[in-house]
Chain A
Amino acid sequence: MVKLLGSVEIESVKPLIMELKFILKRIRQSPLSIIGISIIVFYIILAILAPVLAPPEPGRDPYIMPSYGISPVPKPPSKQAIWGTTEGQYDIYYGCIWGVRTAFRTGIIITVGSMIIGILIGCISGYYGGKVDEIMMRITDMFYAIPTIVLAMAIVVLLGIGLDNVIKAMIIVGWPTYARLMRAEVLRIKNEDYIEAARAIGCSDFRIMVKHILPNAIYPVIIMASMNIGNVVLAASALSFLGLGSPAGYADWGAMIALSRNWILGLPGNPLAFWHTYIIPGLFIFTFVLGWNLLGDAFRDMLDPLIRRR
């Protein structure tokens, strides 16, 4: 009896282990995805070490960049600010390092938030079908009808300017993709024999969804989420750049580039005088997003059922 129980447990863990092994194999095969992972690991280390690399002054919000004076003109790299300062004398080095945490936070909260809503709606919609499905999917379609960033901009205007509201708006426009994918997976699974069996022994709908459908349907959704983190950070930084997100002085790469906008043309005779104010934070956004997209590129094949297990 004990042995039987054990084997049942192993059976239920097996798809997870198989999936992980499959992912690891794919990652090993592709050099680009290894570069992607290295970039992400590098950024994770930067995020963890931020208080060591750029120690904040005790007693102030560590996400506010220290400012060395009141002159608006950016200053080139010096001993005090090793990557120079941007408009308002904000320390670029400090902002870039703490910006890693901002990027991870926005990326992860937006992705996980929209994923949870998407899974819930997709699961209910796919499982119950009929009218529920019809209504939920038409609502999902409505979100698809307007380009996401435009809709997100409108929602930020509604909620008010600020990074938290950018995050909320991105979640509101982000979930339909996950809902559609989750619904498709649930539709595929719900007619399997083991679901029928679970229903036959009297499992409730809730139990079937949580215990039997969710574990089998969730992998493609998680893979899609990991592919999306980069794009989500990119979109959030664009909104910050436009001035809808973090306020000036907040360690947010998009907002830091917004600070450089008045200095793009440099000084007379030295047009590239202030290159550090936009090149450095931009490189951070670019490589961060690139890391996720390189990884996502390897994952993309796994989402495609036709070439999945070749």
Chain B
Amino acid sequence: MRLREYIIRRLILLPAILFGISLMIFMIMQCFTPAQRAVAYVQSTEEMLNIDEIIKRYHLDEPLIMQYFYWINNVLHGNLGYSISANMPVAQALATYFPATVELVFLAIPLMLLLGITFGILAAVYRDSVIDHIVRFFSISAWSLPSFWSAIILLAFFYGALGMFPPGRLSPHIVLSLSQSEFKRYTGMYIIDGILNGRLDVSLDALNHVILPSLNLAILSSALPMRIMRSSMLEVLNKEFIIAARAKGLSKWMVIWKHAIKNALIPMITVAGIMVANLITGVVITETVFNYPGLGRFAAGAATSLDMPGILGFALFAGTIYAVTNLVVDILYALIDPRIRY
């Protein structure tokens, strides 16, 4: 009963957070003159000449509160303005680039957790040993690594020197064959669409392209889970039930596997929000270096060409994703650990 109450209360909070995000974006936009803001909706040269009409149509010269309502109404109807850098409406750009990023991130997250959890456990079990020192040094290093630098090194070594894992999303010959054949884009994610269309060559080619960027993303983001896993594992290993399990004759690794890991994983959920924020930031840089056509590269492109609707649309989108994942994480946390009720 209390769990349901908690979840409902947490769900009610979500619109408030989303309202905060929209207010933030709206305030940034208000730093521009109505004419500058009107340009965001311009899609052709004829419209450019009738800028006053656009200001009228989008109510850009009305009182602030009215403007906010008109603007949020537009946003909720999917009209986020026109992105010059992507050469299409912002909402369409977000929809186009999103699947590629999902593909990248969903490959990076398991890699990140695998790296983080495995080495975190090893460091805790062999506390103050060589392994522990190496893991701690690695996690501080990964935390200090410029993402664009590691991406460039990976690209130069694997693609430049060894000719493996090319940048981009698909090889040119695959793109050509896709345009000639009937290839249905069910999800926009080529690895899955390839399987659904019975075109394994497409899936493999997409995988070949996505491996290196997701590896870069995983290495960079593994620092935090590694650190959290190590410290929570250390804490759990000192608990009485672990000593009791050892005392009844279970082997060391049996105790770790059966009793310690499950309990040590719980604090990992608390930092999931920070991990998501790290991933969003990492995606912007990683996709830019690997020329991977996802949301991150779109955002970087929009920022460098001073495409205000593009970057604000991305910020709104990223903020929403961030808020929703935090909500899911909080509810998961309450479900997994019955002691947690805020």
The chain A residues found within 8 Å of chain B, CB to CB, are 32, 138, 141-143, 145-151, 153-158, 160-161, 230, 234, 237-238, 241-244, 254, 257, 260-261, 264-266, 271-272, 275, 278-279, 282, 285-286, 289-290, 292-294, 297
| Selected contact of A266 from candidates B23, B148, B156, CB within 8 Å | B156
Q: Across the interface, which residues of A come within 8 angstroms of B323, CB to CB?
A: 145
| Assembled-state Cα–Cα distance A145/B288 (Å) | 24
Stretch of B174-182, B244-252, B297-305 at the chain-chain interface:
B297-305
With the chains together, A278 CA to B148 CA distance in Å?
Answer: 10
Contact status A154-B28, CB under 8 Å: yes
Contact B24–A146 (Cβ < 8 Å) = yes
A238 engages B140 (CB within 8 Å)? no
Residues of B in contact (CB 8 Å), total: 51
Which residues of the other chain, B, contact A242 by a CB distance below 8 angstroms? 284-285, 288, 300, 303-304
Closest Cβ of chain B: how far from A4's Cβ, in Å? 47
Nearest-Cβ distance from residue B102 to partner chain A, whole angstroms: 17
Closest to A36 in B: B140
Q: Kindly provide the distance from the CB of A218 to the nearest chain B CB, expressed in whole angstroms.
A: 25
Residue of B nearest to A275 (CB): B156
In the bound assembly, the distance between CA atoms of A146 and B23 in angstroms comes to 11
Partner of B156, one of A149, A237, A278, A286: A278
In the complex, what distance in Å separates the CA atom of A279 from the CA atom of B315? 32
Among A230, A254, A265, A289, contact of B159 (Cβ-Cβ < 8 Å) = A265
Question: Is B314 positioned at the interface, with any CB of A under 8 Å from its CB?
Answer: yes
B95 to chain A, nearest CB (A): 18
Interface pair B153/A279, CB less than 8 Å apart: yes
- How many angstroms between the C-alpha atoms of A294 and B141 in the bound complex? 9
Given A230-B144, A234-B146, A293-B140, CB of A150 within 8 Å of CB of B281 = yes
Q: Which residues of A contact B311 (CB under 8 A)?
A: 153-154, 157
Closest to B322 in A: A147
Given the interface contacts A242-B288, A244-B303, A244-B304, does A145 sit within 8 Å of B17 by beta carbon? yes
- Of all chain A residues, the one with the shortest Cβ separation from B318 is A150
Q: Are B299 and A261 in contact (CB under 8 A)?
A: no
Interface centre among A150, A153, A157, A293 (most CB of B within 10 A): A150
**When the two chains form their complex, are residues B145 and A138 in contact, meaning their CB atoms are under 8 A apart?**
no
Measured in the bound complex, the distance between the Cα atoms of B334 and A300 in whole Å is 27
In order of increasing CB-CB distance, the 4 nearest A-B pairs are A282-B149, A271-B160, A289-B144, A146-B319
What are 11 A-B contacts defined by CB distance under 8 Å?
A141-B20, A145-B20, A146-B319, A157-B311, A238-B281, A257-B148, A264-B156, A278-B152, A282-B146, A282-B153, A285-B146
Chain B residues lying within 8 Å of A151, measured Cβ to Cβ, are 24, 315
